[in-house]
């Protein structure tokens, strides 16, 4: 069974790019355009890993992360921050990685493989 990755980003171009990148590498992908939808998807699909943008409408990434980690069963899901905001590593220090947009696809895939295979 393919590992599940939840991609949370409000930019449709980034969503499509990450969707294709992960799908082409054997992962099952699910998409959310903000933290509110991301919260719904986490409960529904129980992803193995999440990529998370920080600045989004409805609910920003840090708030999504705080809410998600309050639930014991979701607390250990690895999160990779992918953001255009500078200093993003300070907003979610417990994320497994922080990548700035634009990012290197091979670097991202390496991080994902290290986390979930």
pLDDT digits (tens, 9 = 90+) for 1-60: 899 999 999 999 999 999 999 999 999 999 999 999 999 999 999 999 999 998 877 777
Confidence grade of residue 80 (pLDDT, cut at 50, 70, 90): very high
pLDDT at 58: 77
**Domain annotation for the chain: domains and CATH numbers:** 4-116 (3.40.50.2300)
Mean of pLDDT values over 91-101: 86
- Alpha helix positions (H), 31-85: 35-45, 61-68
pLDDT computed for residue 87 by the predictor? 60
């Amino acid at each position: 069974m393919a590992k599940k990755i939840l991609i949370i980003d409000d930019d449709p171009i980034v969503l499509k790019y990450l969707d294709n990148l992960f799908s082409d590498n054997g992962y099952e992908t699910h998409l959310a355009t903000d933290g509110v939808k991301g919260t719904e998807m986490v409960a529904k699909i129980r992803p193995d890993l999440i990529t998370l943008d920080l600045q989004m409408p409805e609910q920003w990434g840090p708030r999504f992360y705080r809410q998600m980690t309050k639930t014991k069963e979701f607390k250990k899901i690895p999160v990779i921050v992918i953001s255009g905001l500078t200093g993003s590593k300070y907003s979610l220090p417990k994320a497994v990685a922080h990548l700035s947009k634009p990012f290197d696809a091979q670097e991202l895939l390496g991080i994902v493989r290290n986390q979930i295979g």
